[in-house]
Structure 1
Amino acid sequence: MQVTETINDGLKRGYQITVTASELDAKVTEKLKEAQPDIAMKGFRKGKVPLPLLKKQYGQRLLGEAMQEEIDGAMSAHLKESGHRPAQQPSMKMANEDWKEGDDVTVEVEYEALPDVPELDFSELKLTRLTVTPDEASVDEALKNLASSAQRFENKEGAAEEGDQVVIDFVGKKDGEPFEGGAADDYPLVLGSNSFIPGFEDQLKGVAAGDEKVLTITFPEDYGAQHLAGAEVTFDVTVKEVKAPAEAEIDDDLAKQFGAEDLEALKGQIRDRLAQEYKGAARAVAKRRLLDVLDETVSFELPQGLVDAEARQIAHQLWHEENPDVKGHDHPTIEPTEEHVKLAERRVKLGLFLAEVGTRAEVQVTDAEMTQAVMQQARQYPGQERQFFEFVQQNAGMRQQLQAPIFEDKVVDMIFDKADVTETEVTKEELQAEVEKLDEDEAPAT
């Protein structure tokens, strides 16, 4: 077997691998000898079939398998000896396309090797991390939002309006006879909620407590109950109360609605939640600043194939975001712009750098971390969680997709631990402004 270098240009490598006919024949013979003890053939006892007869019977079938194994073995030995790590799957093609049995096999192999990634002394990095302490105004604002979500109603005088609640008794009738499921007592109905069939709530606008009214309603043609679909019916309605919406009082009773012991305990929970939200946002800003510093500091040659693939993916994704009505991929070819390529170069460089840093530091994603990531993703498919778990177990690409951001975040945290980080107290408005810049800086011009 012979391996000859044909391309050596930057990260691009090309090789010609030649497997001689005698090597292939030896490999086929080896395979036949391994199988010989288990082969039986008419006229021979099991394991006693002569090798020449086996080669005549099975040699042609084993030749392709032997060829692939020899080439794969040569490629593996070459990569181990050279230390190269292909950035993408190497391309392989037969050089002698008119090959016939008895000829040597020549295969041309091309790939881009992953570059040597420089090491960096992270203790020399000077970074800033923003911190925000939840203030009373933010806590009060959150309390008001909770109070508005815990809507209650108070009795009012006069006519019912949109948004009011009417407490009613009603009986539905078809052809003058009550129908099943068409009656209720003391039913609280918010006008404008569209929780009843069309026309029901509109006819109750203007009623007052004590009113009695007969509503005439036509059920939709596609109504679920077949005996009522498209039917005209009446509802005898007695209005018992009319109530107007009122905000809940911010007190201990409100706190208990949300599982807290009292108002102070609820405020404490809100402060903790806000602190976690601010911490997460501040980390996202700090991570972007770190990546910006690394992008400016680190330099090495990039595999062009990875950059091109990433640029095409960015262009494709942005095109679909701008054309949400196009669900498929039967659209014109989308050519990446210079901005797409620039962003792709940044992503590829930082991705390779962080991957190498994590590998050198032996950063690992634990089984518990992966399980948590799968569970979070599975929540997006209610009722199909088990199927999603099975899909992840059987799909290595999906597992890698879930693992990659966890690995990256662990590497980033490790760098933060080693870097010179200064914490700066800011307002929530200043933090929000920094968060808003993240998407603006990431999106290329199109």
Structure 2
Amino acid sequence: MQVTETLKEGLKRGYEITVAATELDAKVAEKLKEAQPEVEMKGFRKGKVPMALLRKQFGQRLLGEAMQETIDAAMGQHFEDSGDRPALQPQVVMVDGDNWKEGQDVLVSMTYEALPEIPEVDFKAISLERLVAKADDASVDEALASLAETAQDFADRDEGAAAEEGDQVVIDFLGKVDGEAFEGGAADDYPLVLGSGSFIPGFEEQLAGVKAGDEKEVSVKFPEEYGAANLAGKDAVFSCTIKAVKAPKAPELDDELAKKFGAEDLAGLKAQIAERLEAEYKGAARAVMKRKLLDILDGMVSFDLPPSLVEAEATQIAHQLWHEENPDVHDHNHDKIEPTEEHNTLAGRRVRLGLLLAELGRKAEVEVTDAEMTQAIMAQARQYPGQERQFFEFIQQNQEMQQQLRAPIFEDKVVDYIVELADVTDKEVGKDDLQKAVEALDDE
């Protein structure tokens, strides 16, 4: 076997691999010899089929296997000897493949872009500021009030009071289409909040102004895309009896409210809220510090980038941004989207930082554990209620999806590793200042 360099330009590499016909023939003979003891053929005892007959029967298939294995071995040996790591899967083409005949040497062309040499980074030279925000009483009270609204109660309005938007009306109703009642179209003592949008469009608006004891017929039209095909697009009439009209009542911020949210008392609920807020603040502060770290790293290192990776990243960025600007287009049946200079610049930054973090993580032996992957998969699976098991199995069988989940976990672990070694100073700030720092991330 012979490997000859044909291209070395920047990160681009090209080689020709020559596999001698005698080498292939020897490998086929070796495979036939290994298989011979187990082969049975009419007219011969097991393991006694002549080699010439085996070659005639299985030679062509084994020749293909031998060729692939030999080329793969040559590529592996090349990467081991050269130290090159391809940025993407190498392109391998059999030269004059259409004209090749058995008994001839095999000539293969291999081209790829090598990953660049990544310079060393002095982590101790990195200075970072970590924002620290505490959950003050005002923030806790604001969050408590917001939480209390989800447990809102209603109290009966004065006798004869008319229902307003935001009020709760307790109704019995019976719906009919073409004079016939339909399944799911009736209920007793149903609490409906006007303006909630929980009923068919136009239903709630017609109950504005009703009073307890009123009888009201509500005429509506089911939407064309309604879930029940037998009702979609149909006119319906609902006979409603108004049992009560209730106004929203601000909940009492007391121990009883706390118990509704699983706390022993109000003090316990406030402690839980403070803990949750500080966890949110910590996550926001980490995002701010991570961006600063990436900016610092981007300015600290410089190396050649594989053009194919930058081009692929720029194309993905352009495509994603185009769909964000055209949310009504859900498929990919549109003209090719050409990346702009801005897209190419952003792609270069992402590729550079991605390669840098990958190399730093490799040298630090950072790994994503099975437990971390399982946790990430389960978090994603919760977005598909009732189909968690199917989603889990889908991820297990899909290497690309696994990599998409693994990549951000790996990146965060590498960031944590760098932060541990960097010079980090804590700075206490208020919630508003932290919020401004987070908002500034979107502006950059």
* TM-score, length of structure 1 as denominator length: 0.90
> Which letter maps to 1:28?
V
Q: 1:389 aligns with which of 373, 392, 400?
A: 392
Q: In 2 relative to 1, CA 128–47 (structure 1 residues): closer, same or farther, beyond 3 Å? A: same
- The yes-or-no answer on 1:44 pairing with 2:48 is no
Q: Secondary structure at the match of 1:244?
A: strand
Indicate the larger mover: 266-275 or 253-262: 253-262
For structure 1, list consecutive stretches of 5 or more residues without a partner in the other structure.
Answer: 442-446
CA contact (8 A) 1:150 1:247 kept: no
1:42 Cα deviation after fit: 3.2
1:43 Cα deviation after fit: 3.0
Partner of 2:169: 166
CA contact (8 A) 2:133 2:430 kept: yes
Q: Secondary structure at the match of 1:306?
A: helix
Partner of 1:112: 113
TM-superposition CA deviations, 1:208-253 (whole Å, max 9, x none): 33x342536577497959699958666362x443221122122222
1:138 Cα deviation after fit: 1.2
1:185 Cα deviation after fit: 5.1
1:207 Cα deviation after fit: 3.0
Q: Secondary structure at the match of 1:340?
A: helix
Please give the alpha-carbon distance, in whole angstroms, between the structure 2 residues aligned to 1:185 and 1:241: 12
Q: 1:189 aligns with which of 185, 188, 192?
A: 192
Q: Secondary structure at the match of 2:252?
A: coil
1:199 Cα deviation after fit: 6.2
Count of residue correspondences: 439
Q: In 2 relative to 1, CA 225–152 (structure 1 residues): closer, same or farther, beyond 3 Å? A: farther
Please give the alpha-carbon distance, in whole angstroms, between the structure 2 residues aligned to 1:5 and 1:229: 70
Q: Secondary structure at the match of 1:63?
A: helix
Q: Secondary structure at the match of 1:308?
A: helix
> Which letter maps to 2:25?
D
CA contact (8 A) 2:125 2:423 kept: yes
Partner of 2:323: 320
Partner of 1:133: 134
> Which letter maps to 1:418?
L
> Which letter maps to 2:19?
V
Q: 1:366 aligns with which of 364, 369, 380?
A: 369
Q: Secondary structure at the match of 1:333?
A: coil
Q: Percent identity?
A: 66
CA contact (8 A) 1:200 1:215 kept: no
Please give the alpha-carbon distance, in whole angstroms, between the structure 1 residues aligned to 2:124 and 2:14: 40
Q: Secondary structure at the match of 1:106?
A: strand
* TM-score, length of structure 2 as denominator length: 0.90
Please give the alpha-carbon distance, in whole angstroms, between the structure 2 residues aligned to 1:382 and 1:223: 19
Q: In 2 relative to 1, CA 331–223 (structure 1 residues): closer, same or farther, beyond 3 Å? A: closer
Please give the alpha-carbon distance, in whole angstroms, between the structure 1 residues aligned to 2:16 and 2:62: 23
Partner of 1:350: 353
Partner of 1:56: 56
Partner of 1:297: 300
Please give the alpha-carbon distance, in whole angstroms, between the structure 1 residues aligned to 2:35 and 2:227: 69
Output aligned runs, 1:20-419, within 5 Å.
20-97=20-97, 98-157=99-158, 158-168=161-171, 186-196=189-199, 201-209=204-212, 211-213=213-215, 215=217, 217=219, 220=222, 224=228, 235=239, 237=241, 239-419=242-422
Q: 1:422 aligns with which of 419, 425, 430?
A: 425
Please give the alpha-carbon distance, in whole angstroms, between the structure 2 residues aligned to 1:354 and 1:298: 11
> Which letter maps to 1:101?
E
Indicate the larger mover: 326-335 or 280-289: 326-335
1:180 Cα deviation after fit: 8.2
Q: In 2 relative to 1, CA 277–177 (structure 1 residues): closer, same or farther, beyond 3 Å? A: closer
Q: In 2 relative to 1, CA 179–27 (structure 1 residues): closer, same or farther, beyond 3 Å? A: closer
Q: Secondary structure at the match of 1:32?
A: helix
TM-superposition CA deviations, 1:243-293 (whole Å, max 9, x none): 211221222222222222222222111111110000000000000000000
Please give the alpha-carbon distance, in whole angstroms, between the structure 1 residues aligned to 2:112 and 2:370: 33
Please give the alpha-carbon distance, in whole angstroms, between the structure 2 residues aligned to 1:176 and 1:111: 73
CA contact (8 A) 1:223 1:229 kept: no
Please give the alpha-carbon distance, in whole angstroms, between the structure 2 residues aligned to 1:283 and 1:333: 37
Indicate the larger mover: 366-375 or 157-166: 157-166
TM-superposition CA deviations, 1:113-149 (whole Å, max 9, x none): 1112122221121111111111222112112212222
Q: In 2 relative to 1, CA 198–433 (structure 1 residues): closer, same or farther, beyond 3 Å? A: closer
TM-superposition CA deviations, 1:11-37 (whole Å, max 9, x none): 211111001111111111111111111
Partner of 1:444: none
Partner of 2:442: 439
CA contact (8 A) 1:16 1:109 kept: yes
Please give the alpha-carbon distance, in whole angstroms, between the structure 2 residues aligned to 1:6 and 1:295: 33
Please give the alpha-carbon distance, in whole angstroms, between the structure 1 residues aligned to 2:157 and 2:208: 14
Please give the alpha-carbon distance, in whole angstroms, between the structure 2 residues aligned to 1:76 and 1:45: 40
Indicate the larger mover: 371-380 or 191-200: 191-200
Q: In 2 relative to 1, CA 43–359 (structure 1 residues): closer, same or farther, beyond 3 Å? A: same
Please give the alpha-carbon distance, in whole angstroms, between the structure 2 residues aligned to 1:172 and 1:83: 75
1:172 Cα deviation after fit: 7.0
Q: Secondary structure at the match of 1:242?
A: strand
Please give the alpha-carbon distance, in whole angstroms, between the structure 2 residues aligned to 1:118 and 1:353: 9
